[in-house]
Amino acid sequence: MEDLEKFQIYADAKYASYTMMNTMRSLRHLIKEGVDLNNRESFKNWILKMKRKGVMDKTLNIYIKAYNRYLEWRGEEKIKPYKEMKPFKTARATEEDYKKLMDACYGYTEIRNKLMIDLLFKTGIRYRELINIRLEDIKEDTLIVRGKGQKIREVYLPRSVRDLLKEYLKIRKAKPGNNFLFVNYYGDQLTYAGGRQILHEIAKRAGVHFSPHMARRFYARKLYQEGYDIEKIRLLLGHEKLDTTKTYLKVDQEDAINELRKRDFDFLYLNLEVQNQTTPSSTQRPGWDLNPGHGFDRPI
């Protein structure tokens, strides 16, 4: 058996099917280009050649990441990918987006589509995990999730999700033997592409920018804001490494400004207030009711 075939068996068990498929595609392309996968210098030379031809770092990183998975299988040190320029602000889903998406679900598929959105926002599961939910995965108030690399975890189903789930199961029409939760018009399992298209159309009707992964990040940030321990959040999301979870919870400039805006925070003004031990009159700061016992001003 060739090394690539052995690696494919390893990758099948370790990675999600989508990741494995793209990895194998990249490795086969490297072989076609004359790269010896068992010789890292051969790969490095190919990368440098592509770099000189003007291939973007983002594209080269696709091959570097695929090759690194192969090196990991061989027990060798990974190759450092190129540093990519990332946008300062990442797109985020909001509670308002969630409401608009739910309102944009109507017609004979309304309940099914609302359940899909509810599960994404309120359990933080991945889109592929959503599509692959089976009836036997549904427990009393939890859901068994088959994650990346066939890893199994359990997530909690809030009461509102359970109520919507019961409503959907009453009207779900599946072909005999099809035990996948989400089905299409013909009673077959809702496909990966089909579900994507449905969510795209709902977002278009709602007038919001949305992807399933944005809902996953929304869920993680909400848990963090409510004071949940980051290790527990990692387990719920099914992350192998804590660093991955931390990237979901990064505070950016918008977060910082919004926190100050809520408090109308002015530390120089507060310092003067403490020194004077007096409360300024309403004429000094019109429209504000000052409460010296707190670290911020409160609007009337």
The residues that are catalytic are 126, 148, 213, 216, 239, 248
The Cα–Cα gap between 145 and 195 comes to 18
Q: What is the DSSP string of 224-286?
A: HHTT--HHHHHHHHT-SSHHHHHHHT---HHHHHHHHHHHT--HHHHHHHHHHT-PPPTTTST
Cβ burial 228-256 (10 Å sphere, 16+ → b, else e): eeeeebbebbbbeeeeebeebeeeeeeee
- 191 secondary structure, DSSP code: P
Tokens of 184: 């299409």
DSSP summary character for residue 190 = P
Nearest to 102 by CA among 198, 170, 214, 202: 202
Write out the DSSP string of 65-115.
HHHHHHHHHHT-PPPPPPPPP--SS-----HHHHHHHHHT--STTHHHHHH
